[in-house]
Amino acid sequence: MSLRSFGSKLVYGIYSRRLIQQAAGKHPRHIAIMLDGNRRWAREAGFTDVSDGHRAGARKIADFLTWCREADVEVVTMWLLSTDNLSRATEELEPLLEIIADVVDELAQAANSWRIRVVGALELLPEPIAKRLQSAAASTEKRTGMEVNVAVGYGGRQEIADAVKKLLLHHADEGTPIRELAKILDVDHISEHLYTSGQPDPDLIIRTSGEQRLSGFLLWQSAHSEFWFTEAYWPAFRRVDFLRALRDYAWRHRRFGT
């Protein structure tokens, strides 16, 4: 290792420890992240195939989950593919779906402690891919570690529509008259039928790549979330970036509308 590299590593370590100290005492239970910028990273890195960016981004996921586990995060939601992304050209979409299925298979391996829940409209995905995702998630059901939501074929409006459909079908089976349902229907009824039912809403939502919008991510659950945006593309997202997000979250005063 060169003297310059050693110096950079030393400074990086000192700064990381300082960020950890600044974030101490207040950490998010649920972090949601939009893994954005894979294609732009690939193009700027000189790759002609954007799938190389998706592969680089996939390799970052296990590191990110490890950072979250070290920070005592209980739930992580990662948006890997939106419903809008399903309209991409076949020559990009098919490799991307395979990359996603591969990374979920890897996350489900016995060496990892986290539980996986696949959230999204799986019926919109090719059947073989949907089955692989469901099988991988099912293999982790009995684990007691951090919960990891993998959002694939996910859209916030789609989720709310699906929740309302499930609610209506449930009450139809119970024989509840529609006027009676209208009288008792409240926020909690819909929340119980969301993809993330039973989990706390995200405290912190991170988006990489410099974009500063939610694009429909967790529309219902993000009502009181804190947002953190970074210019870094997802494949270039570093642990120090993650620690900055935790530090900034710890410094914010959450009022929850009061």
Contact by Cβ (8 Å): 26, 249:
yes
46 belongs to an annotated ligand binding site: no
157 belongs to an annotated ligand binding site: no
Active-site hit among 85, 102, 105, 248:
85
186 belongs to an annotated ligand binding site: no
82 belongs to an annotated ligand binding site: yes
Q: Which residues contact 154 (CB under 8 A, 6 or more apart)?
A: 79, 81, 82, 83, 119, 120, 121, 195, 217
84 belongs to an annotated ligand binding site: yes
226 belongs to an annotated ligand binding site: yes
Distance between CA atoms of 42 and 49, rounded to whole angstroms? Answer: 7
Residue with tokens 């593919």: 81
Distance between CA atoms of 169 and 177, rounded to whole angstroms? Answer: 12
207 belongs to an annotated ligand binding site: yes
What length is written for the chain?
Answer: 258
Active-site hit among 36, 52, 201, 203:
36
- Is 105 an active-site residue? no
213 belongs to an annotated ligand binding site: yes
Distance between CA atoms of 168 and 166, rounded to whole angstroms? Answer: 5
5 belongs to an annotated ligand binding site: no
- Is 85 an active-site residue? yes
40 belongs to an annotated ligand binding site: yes
CA trace torsion 103, 108, 111, 115 (10° rounding): 120
185 belongs to an annotated ligand binding site: no
29 belongs to an annotated ligand binding site: no
- Environment class of 108 (CB within 10 Å of its CB; exposed 0-12, middle 13-18, buried 19+): buried
78, containing H or E segment: strand 75-82
Token readout for 248 is 């900034």
215 belongs to an annotated ligand binding site: yes
Distance between CA atoms of 48 and 42, rounded to whole angstroms? Answer: 8
Which residues does the annotation place in the binding site? Answer: 36-41, 54, 82-84, 88, 207, 213-215, 226
- Residues classed as catalytic: 36, 85
Which residues does the annotation place in the binding site for Mg(2+)? Answer: 36, 226
Which residues does the annotation place in the binding site for substrate? Answer: 37-41, 54, 82-84, 88, 207, 213-215
